[in-house]
Amino acid sequence: MAQSVKKTLIGLKSGKMSVEKALDFLKDLPYKDLGFAKVDNHRALRRGFPEVIFSPGKTVDQIVKISKRILAHDGLLVITRADRKIYRRLKRSFPKIRYAEMARIVYLQKATSVARKKGLVLVVTAGTADMPVAEEARVTLEIMGNRVETLYDVGVAGIHRVLDKKHILNKADVVIVIAGMEGALASVVSGLVSKPVIAVPTSVGYGASFGGIAPLLTMMNSCSPGVAVVNIDNGFGAGYLASLINR
């Protein structure tokens, strides 16, 4: 977090930190070169949130090394699409690390690292099977300091379920709508609210849903303006963007 840089500068100015230690901290800016990875230590300063590790395609060893560099520099580590094996391995080095299993997120957060935000983000799903994606969004939002509420399984097959919750929709500042199959829920919700809607197509479905292409196109073509779309199953991206909007 930018907090770490700030703390270093304050420590230096106040005399509580030696020039050597400050230099040591700052020399990894703007990134730390590990050979197989350039850890973007500058990101927290630039974007308000440190680099997040996307697990697929990385070896557990690589993830451990990058994690150590991030924690050496920032107060916050987030690893997405992480399986239990990654969690167990990091647990050995960082006993306080946590694992949100359904969300597949491993994270470690120092108490003071994130400022709480005032707005409310609502995470809505069309079906129960969309929950892993929704949880990825929810956990991301909470780590980033947002108030979150959820409204799961209110798909358009029984539209009274979402109409019945208009009061919850109305009090939200940002709405994330997560749906697979035909993905119609995003348009419907957008038509009911005056807040930005982030739509997440999911790969829930079969046959002509083509692994999420069907809801992606549905959401992309929403007849109701005020909707934008992130990648299929990208709960993290939706949560991250909602948090930027919620500032």
Residues 205-234 that bind a second copy (CB under 8 A): 205-234
Among 14, 15, 27, 56, binds a second copy (CB under 8 A): 56
List the one residue from 12, 17, 120, 192 that touches a second copy (CB under 8 A): 192
DSSP 9-70: HHHHHTTSS-HHHHHHHHTT-S-EE-SS-EE-TTHHHHHSS---EE-TTS-HHHHHHHHHHH
Nearer to a second copy, 50 or 71 (CB): 50
Minimum CB distance to a second copy, residue 88 (Å): 21
Q: Is 126 in the site for a second copy (CB under 8 A)?
A: yes
Question: Does 188 interact with a second copy (rule: CB under 8 A)?
Answer: yes
Sign of the Cα pseudo-torsion (88, 89, 94, 95, in order) = positive
Q: Give me 63's structure tokens.
A: 């993830």
Q: Compare residues 17 and 38 and give the one whose CB is closer to a second copy.
A: 38
Q: How far is the CB of 53 from a second copy (least distance, A)?
A: 9
Residues 60-89 that bind a second copy (CB under 8 A): 62, 66
Instruction: Output the six-digit token pair for 206.
Output: 């079969």
- In total, the chain counts a number of residues equal to 247
CB 222 within 8 A of CB 232: no
Assess 35 for contact with a second copy (CB under 8 A): yes
